[in-house]
Structure formats: C-alpha cells, structure tokens
Structure 1
Amino acid sequence: MHIPRRRQRSSMRIAPRLNLPGRPGAKLRLDVVQVAVTSRCNASCVYCPHTMYRKQWINQDLDPALFEAMLPALSGVKRIHLQGWGEPFLHPNLVDFISQAKRAGLHVSTTTNGARLDPKLLEAAVAAGLDDLGLSLAGVTAEENDAIRVGAPFEAVTETIARVHSLASKRPVPTLHIAYMALASHRQSVHRLPALMAKLGVSEGVVSALGFAPDRHLEEEGMLARNDEEKRTLRSFRRSMFQLSLAAAFQGINLYYQLPRPKRRKSCPENVDSSLVVGADGQVAPCVMGRLPVKGNCYHWYAGEERLYAPMVFATLDADPAGQLAEAASGQARREFLRTFRNRPPQSCLQCVKRHMAPE
C-alpha cells in the first residue's frame, strides 16, 4: 500500500509473460511483488483499517520458511516491496528477508512509520542492502502528524532520515522518499511539504489521497467529489498541487501525487497488470485492497453508501510456494481478472476509490 509509483503510468497490457508453472525454472515476469511481511502495527492511524477494524483484525507475521520457499519464483521480478497492512520492522526476520531478496538479485524496498526503527536495526537493514526506504507522514509538523498517525510520531520519521544520512559516509544507503497521506481536512498542509523535504534532505515524495474508507467520516476525508461544490474544490486543489510540484522541481524535489477524479477510470494506480501481493497469511491477491487481514464481514463506504467488503484472492501459498505463486500469476483466476478489468471489473473494483485515482 505505500509503494512509490513515481515513474509508472497505469496502462493495461496483456497478462505478463510467464514460463509455464510446474516446469523447471518457472518464474514471474512482473514489475513488483509486494509481500506483506506482517499485519501487526504499533500505530493507530485514524484512517487505517487496522484501527477501524481492530476487533476483526488478524495480527500475523509471515512465516520465514514461506518467504524463503517463494523466492525462486521471483527471479524474473524487478522489485520486491516488503510491506502491506502493517509495520514491517516489527517482523523479527525482516533484515533476513532483505538479505535473502538481495541474494536473489531483487531490488528491495519497504515503507515504515519509523517508530520501531532504532539505530541498530536501521543499520542492519542498510547493511543488508535495502534499496528504497519510504517514510510515512500525514502532516508537516509533529502537532499535525501525531494527531492523525497516533503512535507513529513525526519525530521518529525525522530521526530515521537523519540516521540514514549519517550512514552515507560509511556505505551505500537506500533512496529515501516521503509517503504523504493528504486528508481533506488537512489538504492545505501539503503545500508546506516541499520545504520540509528540503530541510530533511529528501528529494522524492508521493502524496496520496485516502483510498479506502472504513466509515462515513473517512469517506469525506478521501476527497472523492460527489457534488458540484466538492468537484470545484478538488479541481482547485489539483491545480494547486500541479503548481506545487512544478515549484518543487526547481528546488530539486520530485513531488508526485494521485488524487481522485469523479469519474471511474479504466486503469488503476495499483498496476494490477504488472504486480501481485502476497499477504502475511500466504494468500495472493491483485493488490493490497484485494485482501485485508480481517475475519468475518466488514463494511466500508463508497459513493455515499455503506458496502460489504469483498476480498479477491487468486491462491494460497502452502505446500509449494514458488510453484503456487507462479500458477497464481498465470492461472485462470488472474487471467480472467485481467481480461475483464478494463470494461467489466469485479464488484470489488467497482466499489474501490483507487479506480478514481489519477497518478500525476
């Protein structure tokens, strides 16, 4: 869910090329495989399903044996992102995962709230070869951020960035970027983000609107316009973001953003045609929205109505993780999903705010 999509444009293609599952050397030909190493999180962000569905949430760590067993299928993948609906640095084996992925020849990224990333753990992750590190924020000051991202303090992010910079003299360090959540009630704060990034020495930033609304109030925070006044407000904000990104570019800062448009788009910023997500439970889905780690029925809001959340799962990895992952990528369920995605998408996609998002 917080993978930087900075230079990607959503363009549907034929299902990715794949060696036939079951044959020796079968491997995925995808841009990204996102592995949700844990669904546990130390934070209680006010907008997150982890907070809103707390009683139904399944807290689980990915089995290290499962991770190791799936790696042979990933040799054709460009990048592995080690994060999902939880804080990745809570997994006791995350550094080992980074090392194993690097030995497999993968570009490795993750996104963190920084709260549990002490200097020793950070240095170990950097030494293991972590390529990209995203830091999550929802405000440009401690007062703003900490009221929204409860338990994920602003100071933890700034300290982590400073520590990465301090390690740069000793060894190669990961590229840093800010993953910024812009809520409707705090949308104007984002205009101070480039100044903060310049101060922190971070040159990449991705600003996102809320893509999932567990309740009615959060739907309003998501900025999906439903009337003329909201449409005018969003158009004005979009123009200001365009101007902000241009001004940031002159400072050497690449600021990307994705905001919802009233009309549903045929493509999706999750790039489902060239990526897969593996949950901490081993279930394979088209995107992080496709499989929340919850038990029982849960509901979300879309277009002013409460909707039943419907998961989408292609497979569950167990006996033969590498073979099953390859089969999930090329199997009938995913082929049918990709075939109908543009014009007749499944109900889950029709009720997803992400289908309104326009990366810019």
Structure 2
Amino acid sequence: MHIPRRRQRSSMRIAPRLNLPGRPGAKLRLDVVQVAVTSRCNASCVYCPHTMYRKQWINQDLDPALFEAMLPALSGVKRIHLQGWGEPFLHPNLVDFISQAKRAGLHVSTTTNGARLDPKLLEAAVAAGLDDLGLSLAGVTAEENDAIRVSAPFEGVSETIARVHSLASKRPVPTLHIAYMALASHRQSVHRLPALMARLGVSEGVVSALGFAPDRHLEEEGMLARNDEEKRTLRSFRRSMFQLSLAAAFQGINLYYQLPRPKRRKSCPENVDSSLVVGADGQVAPCVMGRLPVKGNCYHWYAGEERLYAPMVFATLDADPAGQLAEAASGQARREFLRTFRNRPPQSCLQCVKRHMAPE
C-alpha cells in the first residue's frame, strides 16, 4: 500500500504543524492524508490480507457524509490519497470524492488494480481532476501477473493506461505510475519492468517488497533476510536494482524501489511523521499497517515466528470529524507515538517489515 513520494524526509518532526484543534478553521499541515474509501475489493491477490483473512475481513464503504465533514480539516494537506486496503473504484461516490477534494484545493491521487474498470467511470474520475493514478502489478506479463493478482488481470492495467492516454487530447490527465509488488520467487522478472513501462508509456514506477506476511509461505516471499545466505541474495538483488534504476533513468524512466535490510531502521517508508490514514470505518491510524479492517484476532509472520496482529488507532471520527481528525493529528496518543517511534516504538512497529525498508 505504498504511496510514492517525490522527496523523502531525512528527519522526523516531533509533531505536525497544526492550528490548535477545536478552534474554527483548524487545519492539518501534513504531507499526505490517506483515506481508505472502501475495504471491498474485486481481486484475490495471493499475498493480500484481504484474501488471507477473508473470513474475518470487514467489507465497508466510507460514508460520503463523513468524507464531506472531514474536508475542512484537510485544506492544509499537500495531498489526499483515496485508497487503502480495497479497490477505490468500487465506491459509488469516488468521483464525487475527487471533485470535493479538488474544490478544497487538494492534490488528489489513488491506486487501482484496473480490474473491469468501466471506461465511463475512469473518464469521469479524470474529468473530476484526478492528479495521480497508480496501477498495481506483480508481473511483467499476463502469465506472471495473473497467477499472483487473481481477478486483477494484466490486460485490465494495460487497457486502463491506454484509456488514460487516449483522453489526453481532450483534457489534462493524471500522472501515471506502476506500483509493482516484487515477490522473492519472481524477483528476476523485475528487470524487465522498464521495458514494459516504456511500451505502456509510463515513466514512473515504484517496486516494493511484501511488507506484511499473513502466513509462513508469504514471509519467505517477503525477502526479509533471516540467515547469511538470504543476506547475500538480498545484497545482490539490491545491487542489481540500483543498476536497473540507473539504466532506466537513461530511458527517461524514474524507477524507485523499497527493499528490506536485515536490521530494523529508525525511520519508516510510510512517513508516519508527516501523514495519517483514515479507514473506511472512520478510524485514524499512523499508516495502513496500523488498522487492518478485520474482526477478532488475526496472526502474521515476522522473523520466523507467528505474531498476533496489534492494531494502532489514534481516534474514531464520528460526531465532529474535522475537529476529531485535527485532534488525532496533534493529540497525546500521536505525540507519544512520534516521541518514541525512533528508539522505543510500540510492539506493532517492532513486528513490521516496513521498519526494515528504505525508499531508494
């Protein structure tokens, strides 16, 4: 669920710059607020918690009234990303959300799996002013991708990109990027990604390793090294990705990548110091890993052991969404989280593969 950023922060702020919550016109001064407009999805990707926890998964759409009510607090945010653990184009009000966010002066992005995306719906989203559109892949051919991203076919992504290009003569179109999931068993396929991007006419891509493993097999696919042999393999792959990104740059393609390192880092590619996530249920979390839409206990794998998933929520938006969102961003729970994040983070962060990753 990574959101690409043009520039990464080299240091963390203790707290975001905010007007005082509760005062009229209180605004968040954050880089990104991610709004998970729905937790429903029409795909069954083999690595996704939505697939692995299907019996516990809570399928829910964001209430349009809640979105409208929180907008006043978002006017100071640099960007709003309308996507979380589901497929955003399944929400019947997505185009309205884009229009409302643009009227509020926000830069608007989203990411789609491209599965059975209606051309009229796509055109309406573009006409509403969508600024950035990410498209998810996990292979450079239909055979590779479709075996992993079940019901999210490679063909759908290709068609969506072609349709966006076809609209360029009529109106400004969103910037496109490929959000590529690199699994350990298919890591060599990544080296053909720049050629695919050139063929599709997409000049920006982000390659990510798996950041959450719902079972033991998927932990092996995540590339977090657990022994010397795996460390050597990962170092070799990192070197090859660096060389690939340099070669891609000569083709006019910006290729970024996030791969794990053996040691846990003090920073996090989710940029928790300058962003927040609002779930479809109105719960506010530091990142998408902080609140999976599941009921009851669920378990994941980290460092060769099965761990109990521990959610982290700052607040729930209900009576006063704008005020509560501002309070969640500057309140005691988030201040304490940011104060301890580098050296004494909560257990949920200590068990997160994302803490091993560095954006490059």
- Could you say which TM-score interval applies, normalised by the shorter chain? over 0.9
1:313-347 CA distance string (max 9 Å, x none): 00000000000000000000000000000000000
Shift of 1:7: 2.6
The whole-number CA distance in structure 1 between the counterparts of 2:90 and 2:155 is 18
The whole-number CA distance in structure 1 between the counterparts of 2:81 and 2:344 is 29
Q: Does structure 2 conserve the Cα–Cα contact (< 8 Å) formed by 1:284 and 1:313? A: yes
The whole-number CA distance in structure 2 between the counterparts of 1:13 and 1:224 is 28
The whole-number CA distance in structure 2 between the counterparts of 1:134 and 1:25 is 32
Q: Does structure 2 conserve the Cα–Cα contact (< 8 Å) formed by 1:89 and 1:116? A: no
The whole-number CA distance in structure 1 between the counterparts of 2:9 and 2:43 is 31
Q: Percentage identity across aligned positions?
A: 99
The whole-number CA distance in structure 2 between the counterparts of 1:211 and 1:56 is 20
Shift of 1:14: 2.2
The whole-number CA distance in structure 1 between the counterparts of 2:24 and 2:162 is 45
CA 1:186/1:10 → structure 2, altered by over 3 Å: closer, same or farther? farther
TM-score (norm 2): 0.99
The whole-number CA distance in structure 1 between the counterparts of 2:6 and 2:59 is 30
Shift of 1:231: 0.2
Shift of 1:49: 0.1
Shift of 1:125: 0.2
Shift of 1:10: 5.1
Q: Does structure 1 conserve the Cα–Cα contact (< 8 Å) formed by 2:28 and 2:73? A: yes
1:73-120 CA distance string (max 9 Å, x none): 001100000000000000000000000000000000000001132110
1:32-67 CA distance string (max 9 Å, x none): 000000000000000000000000000000000000
Q: Does structure 2 conserve the Cα–Cα contact (< 8 Å) formed by 1:9 and 1:359? A: no
Which runs of structure 2 are paired with 1:147-186 in the superposition (5 Å)?
147-186=147-186
Unaligned runs of 5+ in 1: none
Give 3-state SS (helix, strand or coil) of 1:255's partner: strand
Give 3-state SS (helix, strand or coil) of 1:273's partner: coil
Q: Where does residue 282 of structure 2 map in the other structure?
A: 282
Shift of 1:5: 2.9
Q: Does structure 2 conserve the Cα–Cα contact (< 8 Å) formed by 1:2 and 1:111? A: no
1:205-237 CA distance string (max 9 Å, x none): 000000000000000000000100000000000
Give 3-state SS (helix, strand or coil) of 2:108's partner: strand
Q: Does structure 2 conserve the Cα–Cα contact (< 8 Å) formed by 1:6 and 1:206? A: no
Shift of 1:6: 4.3
Q: Does structure 1 conserve the Cα–Cα contact (< 8 Å) formed by 2:14 and 2:335? A: no
Pairing 1:59–2:59 present: yes
Shift of 1:8: 1.9
TM-score (norm 1): 0.99
Q: Does structure 1 conserve the Cα–Cα contact (< 8 Å) formed by 2:2 and 2:270? A: no
The whole-number CA distance in structure 2 between the counterparts of 1:36 and 1:300 is 22
The whole-number CA distance in structure 2 between the counterparts of 1:15 and 1:68 is 25
Give 3-state SS (helix, strand or coil) of 2:55's partner: coil
Q: Does structure 1 conserve the Cα–Cα contact (< 8 Å) formed by 2:49 and 2:214? A: yes
Which aligned runs of 4 or more in structure 1 are off by greater than 4 angstroms? none
Q: Does structure 1 conserve the Cα–Cα contact (< 8 Å) formed by 2:21 and 2:323? A: yes
Which runs of structure 2 are paired with 1:74-223 in the superposition (5 Å)?
74-223=74-223
Q: Does structure 2 conserve the Cα–Cα contact (< 8 Å) formed by 1:90 and 1:116? A: no
Give 3-state SS (helix, strand or coil) of 1:26's partner: coil
Give 3-state SS (helix, strand or coil) of 1:7's partner: coil
The whole-number CA distance in structure 2 between the counterparts of 1:307 and 1:10 is 30
Q: Which moved more, 1:202-211 or 1:110-119?
A: 110-119
Q: Does structure 2 conserve the Cα–Cα contact (< 8 Å) formed by 1:36 and 1:277? A: yes
Q: Which moved more, 1:13-22 or 1:251-260?
A: 13-22
The whole-number CA distance in structure 2 between the counterparts of 1:7 and 1:92 is 33
Give 3-state SS (helix, strand or coil) of 1:162's partner: helix
Shift of 1:2: 3.2
The whole-number CA distance in structure 1 between the counterparts of 2:124 and 2:100 is 13
The whole-number CA distance in structure 2 between the counterparts of 1:25 and 1:121 is 33
Q: Does structure 2 conserve the Cα–Cα contact (< 8 Å) formed by 1:9 and 1:269? A: no
The whole-number CA distance in structure 2 between the counterparts of 1:23 and 1:298 is 39
1:113-139 CA distance string (max 9 Å, x none): 011321100100000000000000000
Give 3-state SS (helix, strand or coil) of 2:29's partner: coil
Shift of 1:9: 3.6
Shift of 1:4: 1.2
Q: Which moved more, 1:2-11 or 1:51-60?
A: 2-11
Compute the RMSD of aligned alpha carbons: 0.6
CA 1:10/1:88 → structure 2, altered by over 3 Å: closer, same or farther? farther
Give 3-state SS (helix, strand or coil) of 1:84's partner: coil
Shift of 1:12: 1.3
Give 3-state SS (helix, strand or coil) of 1:158's partner: helix
CA 1:231/1:158 → structure 2, altered by over 3 Å: closer, same or farther? same
The whole-number CA distance in structure 1 between the counterparts of 2:113 and 2:77 is 26
The whole-number CA distance in structure 2 between the counterparts of 1:11 and 1:42 is 38
